[in-house]
Structure 1
Amino acid sequence: MDQDIILETQGLGKEFRGFAAVSDVNLKVARGSIHALIGPNGAGKTTVFNLLTKFLPPTHGRVIYQGEDITALQPAEVALKGLIRSFQISAVFPNMSALDNVRVALLRVAGGSHRFWTSNRQLDAYTDRAMTLLADVGLTDFAQVLAGELAYGRKRALEIATTLALEPKLMLLDEPTQGMGIEDVDRVTALIRRVAEGRTILMVEHNLKVVATLADKITVLARGQVLSEGNYATVSQDPRVMEAYMGVSADEATELEGAHHG
């Protein structure tokens, strides 16, 4: 495996009662890049994420991470190796402060399990690191605010901070801007760019403006298969991509592209 490739899938597929949700997906995610997985609803993006993080076993194919075949591993084993997923639904403890959410995540990394009778003294050891992570995601002023009271965009920022606390080598972001207004989208886009420095990110994202802004490489899925791949300029001009997204034929898409530039 190429040293510059942190994650690779070979012929990855998943069938549910004979229906191929994902078929023969070959991905290569370059170390230190932001790689976006896009496609219309039902394209298989979330299924691919579930296969990568071992929440689903593949019907066929392999997942190779940092040169190791992880196809047969359990979700917790994969997470311990640094392949960390941030979920589509904000996954924070709503009745704990932003600071405590991050401190609990740091405690987990240190090998402690969170118990609700964990002493403050034990958590205090992680305060400085937690505050640094909150600063990284722009939440310094919200450290003592209950997570459940944070605005939606800030809640997602907190989720990214708790994901960073797990020291990911590869962060999988599942729809990080879903349900956000323009201001929150811009804030979270800037946040992802900032935390991507020195890290690798694979993201599923519907917002094509976000993808165009962030992604070094884009893989387009349609009907569970790779339709197109490349940078934004390449995939956005691929008539098959326009057909998949817009429902127009390849010929019409070519005409539209010509009219757009005309």
Structure 2
Amino acid sequence: MHHDDIILETRKLTKAFRGFTAVSGVDLKVRRGAIHALIGPNGAGKTTCFNLLTKFLAPTSGQIFYRGEDITRAAPATVARRGMIRSFQISAVFPHLSVQENVRVALQRASGQSFHFWRSAKGLSELDERAMALLDEVGIAAYADDLTVSLPYGRKRALEIATTLAMEPDLMLLDEPTQGMGHEDVDRVAALIKQVARGRTVLMVEHNMKVVAGIADTITVLQRGEILAEGAYAVVTADPRVREAYMGTADAELEGAHA
């Protein structure tokens, strides 16, 4: 594999909390342009790993490289400026602004434009045009004028993805994007992730095997903080250790995902 193909890499990434090792010696390689999923049963260390990658936690040991540069000690803002953007949960959007206004705020933040710029009519219409294009990309342009608070849950997640796209991510990090959703929304958001991933790299933490089945190029399965298996969906789901990690329920879950 050519080195330039790797956008994000960890070497022996480890995080211990008072004697409990949540992430243990993880070597992760995320290929540029891929949708890479980090999955595993509860307590596998997915969230801790994600928080290490997004700089919300400092590792106990090991290194993180982004585009070939050691970012182990870099601040979250520094990493974000270089294009590694984490999609926040719904709390990151302003409930009492319209859907379009939320995207406009994100665009304004991304471009570092002053408040005055977007108060001018020219500035405003330019941002509005870009905001609508992003809403269109995530399939919620019809809701542009609605108050965000009134959006159904799945569409709030679509808005969240639009505000993340406004930051022009090179690498987009999604944390449990389908959590708490019904089937219809899960399918819609999975299709949306696949769509916005074109020409971008996506690393997502997910617990739902069905979601990653259809969209992930590479799946890394974590168990007790270590990499249990890695590869395409067919490879990891054929691994008896993966089936066992999902404790019997997995067989039903894994078979179901093929349907």
TM-score, length basis structure 2: 0.91
Structure 2 residue aligned with 1:178: 179
Structure 2 residue aligned with 1:208: 209
User: Contact 2:35–2:201 at 8 Å: present in 1 too?
Assistant: yes
TM-aligned CA deviation for residue 225 of structure 1: 0.6
Mark the CA change 1:113 to 1:56 in structure 2 (over 3 Å): closer, same or farther.
Answer: farther
User: Contact 2:98–2:144 at 8 Å: present in 1 too?
Assistant: yes
User: Contact 2:10–2:28 at 8 Å: present in 1 too?
Assistant: yes
Identity across the alignment (%):
66
Q: Deviations over 1:168-227 (max 9, x none)?
A: 000011111111111111111111111010000000111111110000000000001101
User: Contact 1:12–1:60 at 8 Å: present in 2 too?
Assistant: yes
TM-aligned CA deviation for residue 243 of structure 1: 1.2
TM-aligned CA deviation for residue 88 of structure 1: 4.3
Structure 2 residue aligned with 1:135: 136
The two structures, once aligned, show a CA RMSD in angstroms of 1.9
Structure 2 residue aligned with 1:12: 13
Say whether residues 1:97 and 2:69 are aligned partners: no
Q: Deviations over 1:72-112 (max 9, x none)?
A: 11111111011111134552111111100000000011113
TM-aligned CA deviation for residue 244 of structure 1: 1.0
Structure 2 residue aligned with 1:148: 149
Q: What residue identity is the alignment partner of 1:71?
A: T
Q: Deviations over 1:132-173 (max 9, x none)?
A: 000000011100011111000000000000000000000011
TM-aligned CA deviation for residue 119 of structure 1: 3.2
2: CA distance, partners of 1:18 / 1:108? 40
| Structure 2: runs of 5 or more not aligned | 255-259
Structure 1 residue aligned with 2:27: 26
TM-aligned CA deviation for residue 123 of structure 1: 3.8
Structure 2 residue aligned with 1:119: 119
TM-score, length basis structure 1: 0.90
SS in 2 for 1:171: strand
Mark the CA change 1:155 to 1:93 in structure 2 (over 3 Å): closer, same or farther.
Answer: same
| Structure 1: runs of 5 or more not aligned | 258-262
Task: Return structure 1 stretches of 4+ with deviation > 4 angstroms.
Answer: none
2: CA distance, partners of 1:104 / 1:124? 13
2: CA distance, partners of 1:55 / 1:247? 34
Mark the CA change 1:114 to 1:221 in structure 2 (over 3 Å): closer, same or farther.
Answer: farther
2: CA distance, partners of 1:89 / 1:38? 21
Say whether residues 1:169 and 2:170 are aligned partners: yes
Matched length: 249
Say whether residues 1:233 and 2:196 are aligned partners: no
- Compare the two structures and name the one with the higher helix fraction: 2
